[in-house]
Chains A and B, each alone.
Chain A
Amino acid sequence: MTATTFQDKAAACWSGCKQRHAEFMANPHLSGGQKLAVHYFTVAMVLFMAQLLFGLLAGLQFLFPSFLYEILDFNVNRMVHINAMVVWMLYGFIGSVYWFLEDESGVEIVGLKWGQLAFWVLTGAVTLVVLVYLFIQFGAGNDTSLWLINEGREYIEAPRWADIGIVVVVLTFFYNVAATFAKGQWSGIAGVLVLDLVALAGLYLAGMFYVTNISVDQYWWWWVIHLWVEATWEVLVGCIMAWSLMKLLGVRRQIVQTWLYIEVALMFGSGILGLGHHYFWIGTPEYWFSIGGFFSALEPIPLVAMVVHSVYDSGVHRFKNSNHPALAWIIAHTFGNFLGAGVWGFMHTLPQINLYTHGTQWSASHGHLAFFGAYATINIAFFYLAAQQARGNVWMGGDLANGWRWKAAAILLNLGVLGMTVALLIAGYEQSFIERAVEGSTWAGYFAAQNHPWFMQAMVWRMVFGLMTAAGGGLLFWDLVEIGKGEQRPAAVIASQAE
């Protein structure tokens, strides 16, 4: 291709994109905040696909260690895999909040223009960070590398400049949320949401500085990771669910808010000190055995409570619902959160057993099911709600055109992740015996466990189910682009809870 034809093609592509974007911005079915939300959802889905791709690459390297050796090493693939995950989930959350902000506050978003600018800045920054991860990968052992390339701390590897950028963007988001509620109406949901966002953003600061002392480093690192996923993210999802239950199922506000407070009490009451389950072996004092053990044993309680509540609701109210894919994913969320966080979390949380499971594929087994079950699912549910509204609040009940697609996507994704989780569980179980208990976690002991047939087969099965997951992900992407496009029937009308 000559330089000029390339230029022509690029120009055509660019103007095509611009046109599609202009068309989207003229969509009459969405409010300003909802259009911004769809922007976030779109990037979230792209990053989700990237997460799956790099997960596959990393998984393949367990089977074929020379695959991409010294080109895209395991650490690079893994970093992109888990960073893409954290970022797409945060995009999904931000989008969801923008989605209902105007409805909940009763006024238009105060700084929509700023919100849009922040979106483009953040997306540009994320792109740049990923390009640097992939093409520069690492630098020398000095501050410049930590500021410009990566910080080398799991999940929050983003270089310091990007950290600061993220904080600025999040402040814009936070301003929009708080100021919009302040201008319109406050509600219980608004109050919990705003305070939770303060905590979520504040925690990020705990991961933004360098220390030599690795024990202190990991002490604060866990504040970010644990207090995000086991406290502030759960409550954020609680706020999103509270609004959804009200709007979609017509549940009364007072009920929804009471339960949101109950959830906050249970989640924060167990989750905040449950942090102790990460302080058994990093140099911290022994009292964390008792504190971490006790409170993390309480952590499954809110998840069991949700079971009682859903049985109560489905038995007593028999809600109708107008968006089957979204409801299916909300159900997947309830089960996934319960199994991944509640059951898988509790199995390895006490120090008596964590001494042997710590830092093995056991953690990866739990990590996959918990992140997928608790957070991927609920985001996907929201993407379907957005798709329904964007296409003109169309029918998304039974006998949907091409309804096989969302079902197949959901089945492949859920079974795929469950299959990976079980494979990793077997690998971790074997590692806890051979590497941790018998061989004492030495270099040789590590490889004794890696070379064990159970482990090697588990890695094969992880890839099989990983491919299944990726297939489901691809279908999901396609479905979200297409669902409801030719649909003429309006969405089923849901009456408010009649009592």
Chain B
Amino acid sequence: MTEQIPPRWASETFWKKTAIWVTGGSFVLLVVLTFDSLAKISAGGPRVPAYSVINKDIGYRFDKSKQRYQPVIGDDAPLFGKSLSEEEAEKLVDLGKKTVQAKNCMNCHTLLGNGAYYAPDLTKAWLDQGWIAKESREQMMLNFLLDPEKNARTFGSNRKMPNLEITQQEAEGIVAFLKWMASIDTNGFPHNFRALGAED
């Protein structure tokens, strides 16, 4: 044998080893990052508030130092006028999340920007100016979810949300879920969203 054919750097065994190391290395890194991320996004962690945040006022403002929009947790503003314990709040949000899945909202809407593109993004739906004023918001949201056809806006498009047979309790759960979701720090998405009641 004069020269190895093919050369070492182009041989099957070399690339087999490379493939194994590259895959293994990337995967280990992903696992490490996953542990860190999951810790940071657990409810009550630095980026995703505890469910009892629905007892507070939630805003969304441009943060000059971070140069992006950022949720702001304010004073007491209990949802439906009842201050809930952590467990009660979690139970209510959980009912909302389950309803969102069972009714398949994500095949029309996006949540945190993921889902379908037939209807508005719900990431900050709690803060939408469509609910006119903070005082009218909770009742308007409930009314809308219970009968989206009668309360349709559609902005001239005639694209209406169907009636999904949502119960009163489920609707309250959904509103709690939407309020909680609006408090998540999403790194500035959506940009330029002018929240209900945001001064300026």
Contact = CB atoms under 8 A, between A and B. Distances in A.
Q: Within 8 Å by CB, do A and B touch in the complex? A: yes
Interface of A: 58, 61-62, 65-66, 69-70, 73-76, 78-79, 137-143, 145-146, 149-154, 157, 188, 192, 210, 212-219, 221, 254, 257-258, 261-262, 264-265, 268-269, 272-273, 275, 278-289, 291, 351, 355-356, 358-361, 363-364, 436-444, 446-448, 450-451
A213 B101 CA distance: 12
Interface string B112-134: 11111111110111001110000
Contacts of B108: 73-75, 78
Contacts of B93: 212
B164 interface: yes
Contact of B117 (A142, A364, A447): A364
10 contacts: A78-B108, A140-B167, A146-B101, A192-B19, A261-B19, A262-B15, A265-B22, A268-B27, A285-B47, A358-B113
B113 A65 contact: no
A358 B41 contact: no
Nearest to B46: A285
A272 B26 contact: yes
B157 A447 contact: yes
Interface in B5-26: 6, 10-12, 15-16, 18-19, 22-23, 26
B43 A254 contact: no
A298 to B, nearest CB: 11
**In the complex, which of the residues B26, B48, B128, B188 has the most CB atoms of chain A within 10 Å of its own CB atom?**
B26
Contacts of B150: none
B194 interface: yes
Contact of B120 (A258, A275, A446): A446
A99 B158 CA distance: 50
Nearest to B123: A441
B165 to A, nearest CB: 8
B102 A65 contact: no
Contact of B98 (A146, A153, A450): A146
Contacts of B34: 219
Contacts of A441: 120-121, 123-124, 190-193
Contacts of A137: 104
Given A213-B48, A214-B111, A188 B189 contact: no
A359 B98 contact: no
Given A142-B102, A272-B23, A440 B193 contact: yes
A58 B107 CA distance: 11
A448 B157 CA distance: 10
A258 B11 contact: yes
Given A261-B16, A281-B187, A283-B47, A75 B116 contact: yes
Given A79-B107, A451-B156, A268 B26 contact: yes
A361 B96 CA distance: 27
B142 interface: no
Contacts of B106: 75, 152-154
B105 interface: yes
B159 A65 contact: yes
Nearest to A442: B128
B139 interface: no
B18 A254 contact: no
B83 interface: no
A258 B90 CA distance: 53
B185 A283 contact: yes
Nearest to A225: B114
A440 B102 contact: no
Contact of A138 (B29, B41, B104): B104
Contacts of B103: 138, 141, 152
Given A218-B114, A440-B190, A213 B159 contact: no
B77 interface: no
**In the complex, which of the residues B42, B104, B119, B159 has the most CB atoms of chain A within 10 Å of its own CB atom?**
B104
B187 to A, nearest CB: 6
Nearest to A142: B98
Contacts of B105: 75, 152
Contacts of B162: 69-70, 73
Contact of A215 (B6, B101, B166, B184): B184
Nearest to A358: B113
Given A141-B103, A441-B124, 11 more contacts: A138-B164, A141-B99, A145-B101, A146-B102, A157-B107, A258-B15, A262-B15, A444-B129, A447-B155, A450-B157, A451-B155
Given A281-B189, A439-B192, A268 B22 contact: yes
A258 B190 contact: no
Contacts of A65: 154, 157-160
A71 to B, nearest CB: 9
Nearest to B37: A284
Contacts of B12: 188, 254, 257-258, 261
Nearest to B109: A75
B26 A74 contact: no
